[in-house]
Amino acid sequence: MIGPLPLLLAPAALAAGLEAGPWVQMVSQNQAWILWDGDPDAIVEWGTMDGLGRETTVTSSSGDVQEAQLLELDPGTRYYYRIHHGEGTTETFEFRTAKAGSEASLRFLVVSDTQFDSSNPDKWGEVVRDGILSWTQANWAEELDEAVDLVLAPGDLVDNGWEQEQWHDDFIRPAQDLMATVPFYPAIGNHEANSSLYFDTFHLPLNGSADYTEHWWYLDLVNARFVGLNSNAPYTGETQKGWLKTVLDDACGQEDIDFVFAAMHHPYRSELWPPGEADFTGEVIDLLDSFATGCGKPAVHFFGHTHGYSRGQSRDARHLWVNVATAGGNIDYWGEYDQIDYENFQTSLDEYGFVAVEVGAGDEPSIRLRRIGLGDEAESQDNEERDFVTLSRDEAPPATPDARTPADEEVSPHCLRLAASPFCDPEGDRHGASHWQLSSDCESWDAPVWESWLQHENVYDDEDLQADDHLGDVVLEDLEVGSGWCWRVRYRDRGLAWSEWSEGAAFTTGTGMLGDNLLDNPGAEQGVAGWDAIEGPIEALRAGECDGGEPHDGEAYFAVGGVCEEGVDNAEAIQVVDIQTWASHADEGELTALYAGWLSSYSGSDLAEIELRFLDVDGVELGSTERLSDPSAAWVRVLGHARVPEGTRTITFAMLGTRYAGQDCDAYFDDLELYLSSDGSLDACLADPAYPYEDEEPSCEDTGLEDSDESPPGDSEEDGRRCGCASGSGGGRWVWLPCLLALITLPRRDPSAH
């Protein structure tokens, strides 16, 4: 519409006389489609001036939706239009054609799960009115057609795709001010139910596989390729995946395309709602990873289905995963389901909101993605920027780290700290992640015996679980004694570029100083001797006895809660260990306990847990440890450490069983362990030790880069360490050289090639 964004104008008044609409679709440099539900004899009056001057009749109809194609348009130009129909004429609307060439800027929004929620019936309207329109006007441009080029919508736009009233009342009318000016490009969700009304509502690119028109599609705009996919059965087979590979291969060969953005409804992994996960999206991720790695062009895939926001990334490719929901559907709150903290994700938020993306072109193509939050049902937010990330197409990698300690030495096998040189980046980006690997051989890394990928941030259940983690060191627990090992590490910046791997550093583990296991009968080989049932039964079972499980090792295992005996909901069995001989170490605060065991359940439904309790000479409890568990039908080893409180004279080792399903309480335990140490060999497992190289300052002289106050790429506004990268202590290897080479050899595209 003409003038500033009409935030207070009622959408129903704009489209008087029509069932719904109008809305604009498929806007390119030289054509656009105007759609409405209503009079098939209506005429679109349009032009570049207020006086309009041109007319177009209905080009085609799809169900009750009329489509008029406007042709011979000029690139990057504002056009005005209105619908003249049997009952009158609508207000005048406007749109802007796509910009010419591949060096222009591009801005788009992503929304998902806009479906009607009876508890919050106007939520989608609020997201559009108070969120999108208000935020874009304040942050991008006063005029909507200048602010936003398109909207991606990864599905579940209505609650029931077969109800036409929902398309009119719940989706189009609340978004009338947006849809009349900015084209929507959806990816179909499960709530659309493959309805013909979904395909009637949108005019999408007709370049998908034969016989699957508009189920999947792609669109090239400026320097980006947008891909819409169908993650619903039965469309997730080889036809769609083969088509996608062809589309990605083509994008790889197109010099003008710098980025690929894909939209699909279902997540591969979901922290807030794991039941919504879909394997098909995992197969799409593999294809996008291969594209990003093989082509050197970053990829982003957007999704929904889970009603909350998440951002993560692939480990080995510059590929972002972004759940953009929810813009209407009821929020999936923390604590509402059995939720999972996945290593791929670095932030998940249970809230309403949308995602805003800016794409830069030219010599340094880049993406800036922002999450705009609107709060939840209990507390609203006024378009708060909740998360952001910046990626450039051509990202110089960080300096290769130096694997420092341990190296060529014998260390304790129980709690071992690996520490590498400080992070340094030639472009001033900050440390984003570290990837550690352990092998039995410095020449073989195909199948590491252990690895860890840690992000600089892990916002899960409203807490950053990675806060204050330096990422330059990591603690390993419980290695095999008397063995040879080799470790290495690589660093990633916040623009998702990895360094090369460090050289491997070899070390050996000693025999350990923990002495004997303090538990009697730790594996049920002597029945239940040494253990007392506090609540419910404790049993020592043989393989298959009473239709139970198999022992982890030996001939028997413990069941706490009733398998042969009648099952109970909660059960506990304990063993009390006298530590009088360790009393002086406990009273000096230098005694540490290691407790461990193998736990399982028949089907993974019931819960087996272990914990320690510390008591003084009078039997008064001084404290207890964390309860350890890992619900699984397979045997899983859990391991914990704790400082023994001063005054402790006995330690109670407790096995706890909780029944959640069935008649039996299938909480199984085997090969339990309790060790004490006073020599400090377990200290690293109690609290993260201080990073030993924090005071080292890298030198910038070798690259000619000066320190800058400008915000670097990545998802932090703080400056990082620029390279040079030579350690201030002089103790590092020549880790600055890859930085210098990266700056010299980094490919830059020639704009004249476009």
Average pLDDT value for residue range 162-169 = 97
Give the domains, in start order, of the chain with CATH numbers: 101-392 (3.60.21.10), 394-511+688-754 (2.60.40.10), 532-678 (2.60.120.200)
Question: Whose CA is closest to 106, among 202, 226, 264, 6?
Answer: 226
Say if CB 489 and CB 708 are below 8 A apart. Answer: no
Q: What is the DSSP letter of 545?
A: G
* Residue 695, pLDDT score: 84
Give whole-number Cα distances, 269 to 133, 275, 403, in Å: 31, 9, 32
Does residue 14 have a pLDDT over 50? no
Specify the pTM. Answer: 0.86
* Residue 104, pLDDT score: 84
Q: How confident is the model at residue 720 (pLDDT cuts 50, 70, 90)?
A: low
Instruction: Determine how β-strand 570-578 pairs with β-strand 345-349.
Output: unpaired
Cα–Cα dist 195/197, whole Å: 5
Cα–Cα dist 233/190, whole Å: 9
- Element of type H or E holding 282: helix 279-295
* Residue 50, pLDDT score: 72
**What is the largest distance, in Å, between two alpha-carbon atoms of the chain?**
99
* Residue 687, pLDDT score: 76
Give the least confident one: 40-49, 372-381, 589-598, 716-725: 716-725
Does residue 417 have a pLDDT over 60? yes
* Residue 172, pLDDT score: 97
Q: Which two tokens stand for residue 752?
A: 């004249």
* Residue 744, pLDDT score: 39
**24-39 residue pLDDT tens:** 999 999 999 999 999 9
Give whole-number Cα distances, 150 to 66, 111, 167, 178, in Å: 21, 11, 19, 10
Scanning the structure block, which residue is given the tokens 């025999």? 511
Cα–Cα dist 427/487, whole Å: 27
**445-498 residue pLDDT tens:** 999 999 999 999 999 999 999 998 989 999 998 899 899 999 999 999 999 999
Q: What is the DSSP letter of 461?
A: T
Give the least confident one: 368-372, 583-587, 610-614, 737-741: 737-741
Does residue 2 have a pLDDT over 50? no
C-beta neighbour count of 58 within 10 angstroms:
17
* Residue 731, pLDDT score: 37
Cα–Cα dist 124/119, whole Å: 12
* Residue 698, pLDDT score: 60
* Residue 737, pLDDT score: 45
Angle (nearest 5°) at CA 385 between 4 and 188: 80
Question: Whose CA is closest to 223, among 99, 386, 356, 121?
Answer: 99
Scanning the structure block, which residue is given the tokens 């939520």? 123
Cα–Cα dist 75/98, whole Å: 6
* Residue 567, pLDDT score: 92
Does residue 430 have a pLDDT over 90? yes
* Sequence-ordered list of residues with C-beta below 8 angstroms from that of 210, at least 6 positions apart, any chain: none
Give the least confident one: 61-75, 315-329, 393-407, 704-718: 704-718
Question: Whose CA is closest to 259, among 371, 167, 364, 402?
Answer: 364
Return the sign of the alpha-carbon dihedral for residues 720, 726, 730, 735: positive
Q: Which two tokens stand for residue 458?
A: 């892990």
pLDDT > 70: what percent of the chain?
90
Return the sign of the alpha-carbon dihedral for residues 416, 417, 420, 423: positive
Cα–Cα dist 280/61, whole Å: 33
Cα–Cα dist 393/368, whole Å: 11
* Residue 5, pLDDT score: 41
Average pLDDT value for residue range 652-661 = 96
Average pLDDT value for residue range 258-266 = 98
Q: How confident is the model at residue 622 (pLDDT cuts 50, 70, 90)?
A: very high
Question: Whose CA is closest to 26, among 246, 158, 221, 248?
Answer: 221
Q: Work out the mean pLDDT of the chain and round it to a whole number.
A: 90
Q: Which residue has the higher pLDDT, 584 or 7?
A: 584
Say if CB 81 and CB 69 are below 8 A apart. Answer: no
* Residue 754, pLDDT score: 37
Return the bridge partners of 435, or none.
453, 490
